[in-house]
Amino acid sequence: RDSDLDGSSTGSDAVNGTAGRFVSGAEGTALAYGSLLLMALLPIFFGALRSVGCSKSKSASDMPETITSRDAARFPIIASCTLFGLYLFFKIFSQEYINLLLSMYFFVLGILALSHTMSPFMCRVFPANVPNKQYQLLFTQGSGESKEEIVNYEFDTKDLICLGISSVVGVWYVLKKHWIANNLFGLAFALNGVELLHLNNVSTGCILLGGLFVYDVFWVFGTNVMVTVAKSFEAPIKLVFPQDLLEKGLDASNFAMLGLGDIVIPAVVIFSSFTLSLKKNTRTYFYTSFLAYIFGLGLTIFIMHTFKHAQPALLYLVPACIGFPVLLALFKGELTEMFSYESSDEVLPHTPQLTHFPTVFGSPASLANSMHVEPPPSYEESSPEEVSSKEEITESDKDK
């Protein structure tokens, strides 16, 4: 996880760790920082909106993953082990081969994430006069009564178009490592992360942000591990924007960057404020958390630009994203209600509830058919003979 906000990283720095840097103008620097801020806000806002739709989904596979307080407490430890493991890998093995494996991994992962991100947009722009054919990818094992489904995936023409466009971006990224392709994958990862990760309550968000606050400060200021991994790790896990874009155009190489962790982690906490706002029929908490993120990231950029040193963004985002909503709740006299709110117990508006899931073998279509139950005919719809027959049966039951 690249969690620094770095304003002076060049393309050669990312590969070789060298220090030859181009000094950009004030306009280019402002454009780069402003673009990073805008790109960071997009997945937070749209991810929150799509996450509500994901919660309303009837498909169990589309339901968000809920982070508990225990998960939040373990997350900084797992992240630290992963970070240090990557550091050792880059010290022991060839950086070229590691990045080749990572490129192939993120090539597949990025195509799937970008395709999923594009799907709602494609549904809106897909021409109505073009036939949208349905397809099914089915893998089974065995034969006859012992046949067992391994993969059963249904898709349509719109999904194939999204997959094709995403594949072009993937090839572009693998071959050129262009910053635009990197950002397309990075935004897709961030939006999917915000959409699919939920916190069960506000206290869990405080635990998560507090733990990662210590994690960020320790690995950035205490050691050179994170900086080394960030410069060696070639993967779309950060958003970048060139500060020399005005001078060199699309071939610019002096990048400011923001790690995806500094977007997704605060965003899931902001979404907790969003669900609390939905419960109270007001968006005050969501807007406050959103403004807190803008303030925290803006302060990070200001400090970094002033001291000319990469900053751990969570050092400033955590106090802002926790402090602003808490102060608002304290002002409104809702602090106890805020921390006792359990989003897992709440059902978002118009969200269907199922008490049990029937066990059905076969495709999703057969599952839908099995859940469709015809209502019994009423007496008004029955013929006089049927009504008479029902009355006779009722009388005989009483005699018994």
Residue at 336 is within a domain: yes
Q: What is the mean pLDDT of residues 136-155?
A: 86
Residue at 372 is within a domain: yes
Do 112 and 260 fall into the same domain?
Answer: yes
pLDDT, the chain, mean: 79
Could you say which of 6, 159, 216, 244 is catalytic?
Answer: 216
Whether 216 is catalytic? yes
pLDDT tens-digit series, residues 296-338: 999 999 998 888 877 888 999 999 999 999 999 899 888 888 8
Considering its fold, how many domains does the chain have in total? 2
- Residue 169 tokens read as 């971006």
Do 320 and 379 fall into the same domain?
Answer: no
Do 372 and 284 fall into the same domain?
Answer: no
Residue at 101 is within a domain: yes
Distance CA 180, CA 178 (A): 6
Could you say which of 262, 345, 397, 399 is catalytic?
Answer: 262
Do 391 and 316 fall into the same domain?
Answer: no
Q: Provide DSSP, 104-171.
A: HHHHHHHHHHHHHHHHHHHHHHS-TTS---EEEEEEEESSGGG-EEEEEEEEEHHHHHHHHHHHHHHH
Distance CA 252, CA 254 (A): 6
Do 374 and 278 fall into the same domain?
Answer: no
Do 48 and 114 fall into the same domain?
Answer: yes
Is the confidence at residue 264, as pLDDT, over 70?
Answer: yes
Residue at 21 is within a domain: yes
pLDDT tens-digit series, residues 93-138: 888 888 888 889 999 999 999 999 999 899 888 888 888 899 998 8
Do 301 and 386 fall into the same domain?
Answer: no
Count CB neighbours of 374 within 10 A: 5
Residue at 359 is within a domain: no
Do 175 and 275 fall into the same domain?
Answer: yes
Residue at 358 is within a domain: no
Which run of H or E residues covers position 67? Answer: strand 65-67
Characterise 49 by phi-psi region: left (phi > 0), alpha (psi -120 to 50), beta (else).
alpha
Residue at 62 is within a domain: yes
Do 185 and 53 fall into the same domain?
Answer: yes
* Residue ranges making up the domain that contains 368: 364-399
Q: What is the mean pLDDT of residues 367-371?
A: 41
Q: Which amino acid is at 358?
A: P
Do 124 and 183 fall into the same domain?
Answer: yes
Whether 244 is catalytic? no
pTM of this prediction? Answer: 0.76
